[in-house]
Amino acid sequence: MIQHMLGWLRAEARVGRARGRWARWIGRNWARMSYGYRVEPTWLEVNRFKVPIANLAPAFAGFRIVQLSDFHCSRQVTPAYLSEAVHLAPAPHGVFAVLGNHDFSVRNALGFRRYRHLHRAVASALSSHGIRVLHNECVCLGRQGATLHLIGVEDLWSRVCDLDSAFADLPASAPRVVLAHNPRTVEHLGDRRCDLMLSGHTHGGQVHLPGLGRPTLRPGVWQPACTATAIRMCM
């Protein structure tokens, strides 16, 4: 069927400029829809980035963090696919999580929750598998006597995001990594230090509008889709 469709599009492209433009328009949009629905949700890849961190202790040079985000388990994003993603991301220094807007059953910035206690059930399920869920708090990761601060904040749309509590009592010189599901959280940091923010929510910006690009992407924030993103820290 696909071969017949492609053959028809090629033939139409040869018959006059107007009909050719129409065929190309159908082809482009058909490709976008098929890619966005059939290919992108199940395309698993590991992306590696090296990120310099000011005042990073020598013990953490080369320290790696892997982020997994926005699984949205469904018929397209299967449990087998998720298992493969988890298998690619071993975590000898612990597994940490922050909740996203769907975990809070929030679909817009107004913060209306359809299921008010869903976030508690999600957090409990994660905890039962040894994953520590961070609720506007900071934990210290230790390595050879040195520390790296990991800050986890609640989702921006949940109306319980508390940056003051999350960043409380941290010295300005302390390197820190921030986990925040919504990348627009960076706009609320003010003068708080943030060496690296890891976010999701935009699904890597796969919504690409012709002529407009990816309007949902925020600059300077890592925003993976359902992929494993490996980040190596350097001094």
| Residue pair 160/154 in contact by the 8 Å Cβ criterion | yes
Q: What is the dihedral of CA 66, 207, 99, 60, to 10 degrees?
A: 20
| pLDDT digits 0-9 by tens, 153-212 | 999 999 999 999 999 989 888 999 999 999 889 999 999 999 999 988 876 555 556 666
Distance CA(232)–CA(229), nearest Å, equals 10
| pLDDT digits 0-9 by tens, 55-76 | 999 999 999 998 888 887 777 7
| Residue pair 63/232 in contact by the 8 Å Cβ criterion | yes
Distance CA(148)–CA(132), nearest Å, equals 16
Tell me the whole-structure pTM to 2 decimals: 0.75
Q: Which residue pairs, CB below 8 angstroms and at least 24 apart, start in 201-207? A: 201/69, 201/70, 201/100, 201/101, 203/70, 206/36, 206/40
What's the full length of the chain, in residues?
Answer: 235
Looking at residue 42, its amino acid is T
Lowest mean pLDDT among 26-35, 60-69, 96-105: 26-35
Provide the residue ranges of all domains of the chain, joining segments of one domain with +.
2-39, 47-234
Distance CA(47)–CA(222), nearest Å, equals 11
